[in-house]
Amino acid sequence: MPQITLHLDEATETLATQAAQAHGMSTSRWVAELIRRHANDTWPAGFIALAGAFPDFPLREEQTATGVAKAHPSARTN
């Protein structure tokens, strides 16, 4: 298995070691998980599921003659 050497200051090494222990894994495995998570070029889990979850901006045709967009049906009125 390939190896990599990291040069960390003492405080950062302590943080990494504590975080790895808190997750029940070795520091090496913890760092590898971070690299996989942050260096991956795919969208995060759940991102695609958000498509369509929010109302769209109103189309130009949906605006009134004054140029003010109509309120979304779920908008609160006081």
3-state secondary structure of 69: strand
In sequence order, the 6+-apart residues with CB closer than 8 A to the CB of 55 are 72, 74
In this predicted structure, what is the pLDDT of residue 4? 92
In this predicted structure, what is the pLDDT of residue 35? 93
Q: Residues 30-75: pLDDT tens digits?
A: 999 999 988 878 887 788 888 888 877 766 666 665 566 556 666 5
Start-end of H helices in 1-78: 10-22, 27-39
Q: In the chain, how long is the greatest CA-to-CA distance?
A: 67
CA dihedral 67, 61, 64, 53 (to 10 degrees): -90
Q: Output the pTM of the full model.
A: 0.53
pLDDT at 24 over 80: yes
3-state secondary structure of 17: helix
